[in-house]
Amino acid sequence: MHSTTNILVVGIGGQGVMTATEILAEAAIALGHDAKKTEVAGMAQRGGVVSSHLRFGKKVLSPQITPGTADVLLGFEAAEGMRWRHMLRPEGIALMNTARLVPPVVELGLYDYPEDPIAAMKAAGTRVIAFDATTIALDLGDIRLGNTVMLGAIADHLPFSADVLQECVLQRFRRKGEQVVDQNRRAFEAGRAAVGEAQMAAA
């Protein structure tokens, strides 16, 4: 990691892209980093495409990530991850949910959904770790846990302890009771484990 860490989070409206970026920023700020973030939402409430830039470090002047400089691309949706792969630096890593969530631009015929976004990214030379965050969330009882699964997935690819990020995640749910906190704890750990297993399988 450089003195400034650049993370790009992308997906479809309703997946929790912006919330995930907020929690990542909170974790960075809790450790004394300067953090800046920006969001671009296209009809986010209607399932449109969403991207969120986060930069943190000792001193950050702009939230905007320059193409070719992102350390991590966190793709909540496969095709959106592929569409943003140009933002990664050569040694960067894409952490990709394999779930296909077709946005309205495809249904309207304005954009063709790629046949295999993950394979296309790998063929282009991108370092990709892919896992099915949506199925993991459903197995834990709630598709909304996908957001926490994705945060677990990035936890070991940050310049600080996974425990700090997990605490920021769980803090969000404390007022909802211990059952919800426990559900999110398991989702976070499942995301970490899924990435670890995918890395071992690829090694």
pLDDT of residue 1: 46
pLDDT of amino acid 102: 65
Residue 44, pLDDT score: 44
The set of residues, in sequence order, having a beta carbon less than 8 Å from that of 120 and lying 6+ positions away, is 82, 114
pTM score, whole prediction: 0.91
pLDDT at position 68, please?
A: 97
**Rg, Å, the chain Cα set:** 16
Predicted confidence at residue 152, as pLDDT, reads 98
**pLDDT value at position 15?**
86
Confidence at residue 49, expressed as pLDDT on a 0 to 100 scale: 78
- What are the pLDDT digits (tens) for 118-147? 999 999 999 999 999 999 999 999 999 999
Long-range contacts of 166-175 (CB under 8 A, 24+ apart): 167/27, 168/23, 168/26, 168/27, 168/30, 169/23, 172/23
Using an 8 Å Cβ cutoff, are 133 and 99 in contact?
yes
Q: How many CA atoms lie within 13 A of 64 on its CB side?
A: 3
What domains sit in the chain, N to C, each tagged with a CATH number?
4-198 (3.40.920.10)
Q: What is the pLDDT of residue 12?
A: 86
- Mean pLDDT per block of 10 residues along the chain (203 residues) reads 86 88 96 90 60 94 93 94 94 93 62 84 95 96 95 96 96 94 97 93 75
